[in-house]
Amino acid sequence: MSLHPFVRDVPDFPKPGILFKDITPLLASAVAFKEAVEAMAEPVLNLQPTHVLGLESRGFIFGSALAQRLGLGFVPARKPGKLPLATHSEAYGLEYGSDALEIHQDAFGPGDRVLIVDDVMATGGTAAAAQRLVQRTGAQAVALTVFIELTSLPGREKVEGLPVFSVLRY
């Protein structure tokens, strides 16, 4: 099944000059969403992750579904101030600004193998921040899997040494 028809282009969102990839049609189709999750899971099965780290916010959708599919625990990487306990924080740049991600300091530990999951990889700033967060806990990031990769942007360059898997490329 082709998943391209389930992604809508929204020009000038969230600001002028950005072409936003809207995945809500994909999420509205149980069949297409299941296909997307299976396509994201397939290349990481042999990597033996112990946890899934989902990046706020649409990475939570794919990340929790992948964690369920792989039989793993799910850890959310949140925007600042959203987690109740002591956190590690990492700032990053976006194609339209800057932000930060946080995880609980006890989210992972030595020996944990973390699969990082997001909906879209563009400039790679969010994924690189997540990779640094995982490293700060003593765990190992084993791969990044995303539903959409914007290949005209330098995302892969930002996640040094981390395998990147994507279902759709634009």
Residue 72, CB half-sphere, CA atoms under 13 Å: how many? 27
First-to-last C-alpha distance (Å) of the chain = 17
136 is catalytic: no
Distance CA 169, CA 148 (A): 6
SS3 18: coil
58 is catalytic: yes
Starting at the earlier edge strand, list the strands of the sheet with 113-121: 73-77, 51-55, 113-121, 140-149, 164-169
Q: Count other Cβ atoms within 10 Å, centred on residue 109.
A: 10
The active-site residue out of 58, 78, 102, 149 is: 58
The active-site residue out of 38, 42, 95, 157 is: 95
Q: Which residue numbers are catalytic?
A: 58, 95
